[in-house]
Amino acid sequence: MAEHPVGTGLFVVIEAADGSGKTAVTDHLVPLLASTGRTVHRIDRAWSDGDGPHAELVRAVNALFRSEAATAAGWEVLSLAAATQYATILRSQIEPAVRAGDIVIAESWWDKTRARLSLEATIALDLDSEQHRALTAWQSHLLPPSPLPVDQHLTVLVDAARHDRVAWYRAAGCPDPYLDRTGPDSHDPDGFGHFTEHIADQLRQVAAERAWPTVTNGGHRTVAEAATELHLLITDQLSPSTRPAPEAP
């Protein structure tokens, strides 16, 4: 494979449990980044601007996940499909843009997806703790390593308290269904809080293991304040020369 010159772009992954306000934070973040003169892309897995074969694969996986019969394929197949889609988007869209010096933002990337899929499998198949751990361990090896250098990839956890997620979900009219033991189309706000707290706990654990920075949303903070903190993390990553030098011993 031909070597590509590495630009000064950045791939930003915003991981968060469902209902944590990551989209609202990103809506505020994009203009902040664009105001610095950077070209900013937001990944939308519902479509692809890659080449023909890559675009067709992305759309096919999206159609699978939107199908009412998606779970009939099995959670292992869905995990494989999601990992394949993400790897395709990374190669065909994200890598070229970052190498061109652009900023690419993905909301809820692989770790959140696999956390939700493993939780749904555990509920639907009544997996015990050992089976759940085995599924999670298997999922963790599905996504190929990123072709981007470490300093051009930043993952941030946007964390919100359970009561905030429930309040926002209720205020929005409880729009998105989730898998509950009472059925696949539950919209109960309290159940949503319980369901998403499991995902949030998994993401918090991963964030601690991988030293992801965490930005808190909700509580006494506004969305704009959370976006500003995230903006500072990104600009610091893009401009390492501005970081203070370590003090001499």
DSSP per-residue codes, 78-98 = HHHHHHHHHHHHIIIIIHHHH
From the number of C-beta atoms within 10 Å of its C-beta (0-12, 13-18, 19+), residue 69 rates as exposed
What CATH number did the domain enclosing 158 receive?
3.40.50.300
Domain assignment present for 49: yes
- 141: tokens are 């090896």
pLDDT for 249 equals: 46
Domain assignment present for 4: no
Domain assignment present for 46: yes
Domain assignment present for 47: yes
pTM of the model: 0.90
Q: What is the DSSP string of 154-192?
A: EEEEEE--HHHHHHHHHHTTS-S-EEETTEEEE--HHHH
Domain assignment present for 65: yes
Residue 116 is part of which domain span?
A: 10-242
In 19-71, DSSP assigns E strands to: 40-42
| Pairwise CA distance, residues 73 & 82, whole Å | 13
21 φ/ψ sector (left φ>0, alpha ψ -120 to 50, else beta): left
The distance in angstroms from the start CA to the end CA of the chain is 45
| Pairwise CA distance, residues 67 & 64, whole Å | 5
| Pairwise CA distance, residues 188 & 192, whole Å | 6
Domain assignment present for 247: no
| Pairwise CA distance, residues 16 & 31, whole Å | 21
Domain assignment present for 24: yes
Q: Count of domains in the chain?
A: 1
pLDDT for 8 equals: 82
Q: What is the pLDDT along the chain (249 residues), one digit of tens a residue?
A: 334 344 689 999 999 999 999 999 999 999 999 998 889 999 987 766 666 888 888 888 988 998 888 888 899 999 999 999 999 999 999 999 999 999 999 998 999 999 999 999 999 999 999 999 999 999 999 998 889 999 999 999 999 999 999 999 999 999 999 988 776 789 999 999 999 999 999 999 999 999 999 999 998 899 999 999 999 999 999 885 433 344 444
Domain assignment present for 235: yes
